[in-house]
């Protein structure tokens, strides 16, 4: 074997040998892949045929760039050698264009980098956290938020984000519930589609288009005991009926990438799960983008006990269907040896490389690799206005006794207190790497600017931050409260208390915040409590002590002006709970679309303090509930008040029996009998009463935002294809099963206005 042949065999597969010997790719001219007029698949084939094995493995390798003295030289060398296909956490637009220029001009084939970053709910202009965006029940504002994030991030060279996070999450102890859309399959499906469309835009080759990444695939939201990186046990039917549908919706929307999750399910880590990554994602759904591992999750299969070492992890990751490895470098370190040993196939490596190249071609990176979006798009007036609209629509009015809100014109002096009233950093919420706290407009800022000429705003924070246990400032706040017409207390969680690796066992208000609310309630002044948090909190005591409660999942840059306008009635709250609020932690998991069980609770159960001493051994009603917590949540899914009063009546269907090919038309009369113009989120739920497997007691199947003036009525109309009633039954096939159903229309998942119908074969 001569030296040239030896070089070819070690640096490339058979395809690579042919390419280097002939000087042209399998698709003709070696420059065909540079021709944008050619079909993407021909370009992929042409480029792939010319790549050495080292260059192929480089495309599978994603690295995180640091900002230091030797970063530019180190990464320049690696990129020029073709050892890196994607960079994340690039420090600046200068670094982004510099590294891209190396890839395009100094690497052998000029393959552009895919530059990525966690842009979860805004880049510079920060929108409410995704859980808050889900509370809007407004797909248009969610899509707009993702589009704005893409426009701003692309101005710094970022063309790929690790969002949307569409894990179904029914345990608020899990810190990452903040990043998703809550507990409901239907709501998460629609939000998934909206975010994918927003990030990617109408034209993938537009320089402002940013590839979306559906994560975490799959089941991560069911982590045992609400702890990150923990195991899950989701049987296949539950996986298909609950956890997979939002990801399938993302695929239908054209999502370019997926991320494998950290959890193992039924003993198989997601990054080694061929069943979901290949059989379902590619085989059943026809996905043709690429899968990236979560940070080091391929190597962490060793920690799971699924692999003996990193070499085995690389083998199982690639064979399962993980195309690109984030940061842990097991592929680039071990893949050649695995190939020599026959434990991986060159065809599988080529498929993964092709998947990555396809996305790069689809994004137009070969033609427009450098930054083209102007820097001035950051914090533009339209972006700030949209962020304010999202924050306003996301706020949930949980309580409003005696119509304390909106504050009347007679209120001339207010006390603003609480550790989050002027918390510029914490108001932005979790997963904010690039938002700048100096750009955050807090409630204190907004009240002083917008209302300071008409009212006197006294600010006494009482506590320095949410976990502060020093009670000295509470007395000052109470003393100030005595001289005002109303009190606004802003409490909740600092941003660092939710998100990845920030799980909790206790969901009560932290620090001395509970004592602050209790002390303020004793002053007798009207008390408006505003809660900013990354999850539902167990705040029953504070609800009882307050006259009105607004819940704002960390609302972002423009949260202050949004809340101020709601408090003073320029707009009416319209947010709805995207997740059930537990009354106590011991109720978790608690969610509305549960199965009935053999003896469902009916509302008249004997509670712990009602049991007589030395009571006889009985089963106390023989129903499913907690002796010490009853049977219901603090607030149900889909709940939220407004300044209007909405009444539902005259529910009707176009007929009472449907075939499986029909579309159900359901109507109800909606009236605003209140004194204020307001928006209601009308919701449609169904129940399948008997199936080949047990079905949930209710499932959301539609919603619509409806704005009505005082005294105004309208007919709300829903059109529901019978095909939406399909589920995976006893035979593990998705079908609509004939039988009897109930349909509800109302303002939350506890709505009572219902009508029956049936589906026939």
What residues are annotated to the active site?
A: 294
- 108: which 2 tokens? 């052998």
Q: What is the DSSP letter of 448?
A: H
CA distances (Å), origin 402, targets 406, 415, 499, 572: 11, 20, 36, 16
Distance CA 235, CA 239 (A): 6
- If one counts every other C-beta atom within 10 angstroms of the C-beta of residue 427, the result is 33
Partners of 551 in the β-ladder: 396, 531
CA distances (Å), origin 307, targets 147, 269, 313: 40, 10, 6
Distance CA 348, CA 367 (A): 28
| CB-based contact 226:171 (threshold 8 Å) | yes
| CB-based contact 516:468 (threshold 8 Å) | no
- 502: which 2 tokens? 């920030």
Distance CA 86, CA 103 (A): 10
Distance CA 700, CA 470 (A): 44
Name the residue among 301, 210, 311 with its Cα closest to residue 263. 301
Between CA 29 and CA 31, with CA 30 as vertex, the angle to 5 degrees is 85
| CB-based contact 552:391 (threshold 8 Å) | yes
> How far is CA 456 from its chain centroid?
39
Name the residue among 252, 258, 155, 143 with its Cα closest to residue 206. 155
DSSP string of 42-60, one letter each residue? HHHHHHHHT--HHHHHHHT
| CB-based contact 549:397 (threshold 8 Å) | yes
Distance CA 211, CA 205 (A): 10
Distance CA 651, CA 742 (A): 12
CA distances (Å), origin 211, targets 59, 101, 179: 17, 20, 18
Distance CA 495, CA 164 (A): 19
Distance CA 666, CA 646 (A): 18
Distance CA 245, CA 188 (A): 9
- If one counts every other C-beta atom within 10 angstroms of the C-beta of residue 663, the result is 12
Q: Which residues contact 523 (CB under 8 A, 6 or more apart)?
A: 478, 481, 482, 487
Distance CA 642, CA 574 (A): 6
Distance CA 343, CA 312 (A): 9
- 361: which 2 tokens? 């071609």
Name the residue among 696, 672, 678 with its Cα closest to residue 744. 696
Dihedrals φ, ψ of 392, to 5°?
-65, -45
Whether omega for the bond prior to residue 216 falls within 30 degrees of 0, making it cis, is yes
- Write out the H or E segment, with its range, that includes residue 760: strand 754-760
- 428: which 2 tokens? 């932005």
- 722: which 2 tokens? 């019978």
Partners of 682 in the β-ladder: 704
């Amino acid at each position: 074997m001569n030296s040239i042949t030896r070089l070819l065999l070690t640096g490339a597969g058979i395809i690579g040998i042919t390419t280097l010997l002939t000087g042209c790719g399998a698709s003709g001219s070696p420059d065909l892949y540079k021709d944008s007029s050619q079909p993407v698949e021909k370009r992929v084939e042409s480029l792939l045929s010319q790549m050495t094995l080292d260059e192929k493995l480089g495309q599978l390798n994603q690295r995180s760039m640091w900002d230091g003295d030797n970063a530019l030289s180190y990464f320049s060398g690696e990129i020029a050698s073709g050892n890196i296909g994607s960079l994340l956490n690039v420090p600046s637009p200068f670094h982004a264009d510099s590294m891209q220029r190396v890839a395009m001009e100094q690497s052998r084939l000029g393959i552009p980098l895919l530059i990525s970053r966690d842009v979860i709910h805004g880049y510079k202009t920060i929108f409410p956290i995704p859980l808050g965006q889900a509370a809007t029940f407004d797909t248009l504002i969610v899509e707009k938020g993702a589009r704005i994030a893409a426009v701003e991030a692309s101005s710094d060279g970022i063309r790929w984000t690790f969002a949307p996070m569409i894990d179904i999450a029914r345990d608020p102890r899990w810190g990452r519930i903040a990043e998703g859309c809550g507990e409901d399959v239907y709501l998460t499906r629609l939000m998934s589609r909206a975010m994918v469309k927003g990030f990617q835009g109408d034209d993938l080759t537009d320089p402002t288009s940013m590839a979306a990444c559906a994560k975490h695939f799959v089941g991560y939201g069911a982590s045992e005991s609400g702890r990150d990186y923990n195991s899950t046990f989701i049987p296949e039917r539950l996986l298909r009926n609950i956890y997979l549908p939002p990801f399938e919706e993302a695929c239908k929307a054209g999502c370019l990438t997926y991320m494998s999750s950290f959890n193992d399910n039924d003993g198989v880590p997601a990054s080694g799960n061929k069943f979901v990554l290949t059989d379902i994602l590619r085989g059943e759904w026809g996905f043709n983008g690429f899968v990236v591992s979560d940070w080091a999750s391929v190597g962490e299969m060793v920690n799971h006990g699924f692999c003996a070492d990193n070499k085995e992890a690389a083998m199982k990751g690639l064979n399962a269907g993980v195309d690109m490895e984030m940061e842990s470098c097991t592929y680039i370190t071990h893949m050649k040896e695995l190939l020599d040993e026959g434990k991986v196939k060159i065809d599988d490596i080529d498929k993964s490389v092709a998947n990555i190249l396809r996305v790069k071609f689809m994004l137009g990176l070969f033609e427009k690799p450098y930054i083209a979006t102007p820097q001035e798009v950051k914090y533009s007036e339209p972006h700030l206005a949209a962020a304010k609209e999202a924050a306003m629509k996301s706020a949930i009015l949980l309580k409003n006794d005696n119509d304390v809100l909106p504050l009347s014109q007679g209120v001339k002096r207010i006390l603003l207190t609480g550790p989050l009233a002027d918390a510029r950093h914490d108001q932005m919420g979790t997963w904010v790497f690039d938002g700048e706290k100096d750009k955050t407009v807090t409630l204190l800022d907004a009240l002083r600017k917008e209302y300071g000429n008409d009212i006197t705003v006294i600010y006494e924070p009482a506590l320095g931050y949410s976990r502060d246990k020093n009670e000295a400032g509470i007395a000052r706040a109470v003393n100030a409260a005595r001289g005002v017409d109303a009190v606004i207390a802003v409490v909740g969680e600092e941003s660092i208390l939710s998100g990845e690796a920030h799980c909790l066992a206790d969901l009560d208000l932290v620090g001395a915040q509970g004592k602050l609310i209790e002390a303020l309630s004793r002053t007798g002044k009207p008390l408006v409590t505003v809660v900013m948090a990354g999850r539902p909190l167990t705040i029953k005591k504070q609800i009882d002590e307050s006259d009105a409660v607004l819940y704002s999942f960390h609302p972002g840059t423009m949260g202050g002006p949004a809340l101020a306008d709601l408090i003073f009635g320029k707009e009416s709250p319209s947010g709805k709970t995207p997740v059930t609020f537990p009354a106590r932690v011991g109720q978790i998991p608690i969610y509305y679309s549960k199965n009935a069980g053999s003896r469902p609770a009916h509302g008249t159960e004997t509670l712990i303090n009602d049991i007589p001493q030395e009571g006889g051994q009985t089963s106390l009603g023989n129903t499913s509930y907690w002796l010490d917590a009853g049977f219901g949540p603090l607030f149900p899914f889909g709940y939220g008040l407004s300044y209007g009063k909405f009444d539902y009546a005259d529910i009707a269907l176009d007929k009472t029996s449907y075939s499986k090919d029909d579309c159900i038309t359901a109507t109800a009369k909606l009236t605003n009998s209140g004194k204020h113009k307001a928006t209601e989120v009308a919701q449609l739920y169904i129940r399948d009463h008997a199936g080949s497997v047990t079905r949930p007691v209710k499932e959301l199947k539609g919603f619509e935002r409806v704005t009505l003036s005082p005294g105004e009525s309208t007919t709300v109309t829903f059109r529901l294809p019978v095909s939406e009633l399909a589920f995976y039954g006893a035979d593990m096939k998705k079908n609509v099963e004939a039988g009897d159903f109930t349909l509800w229309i109302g303002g939350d998942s506890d709505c009572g206005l219902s009508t029956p119908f049936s589906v026939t074969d």
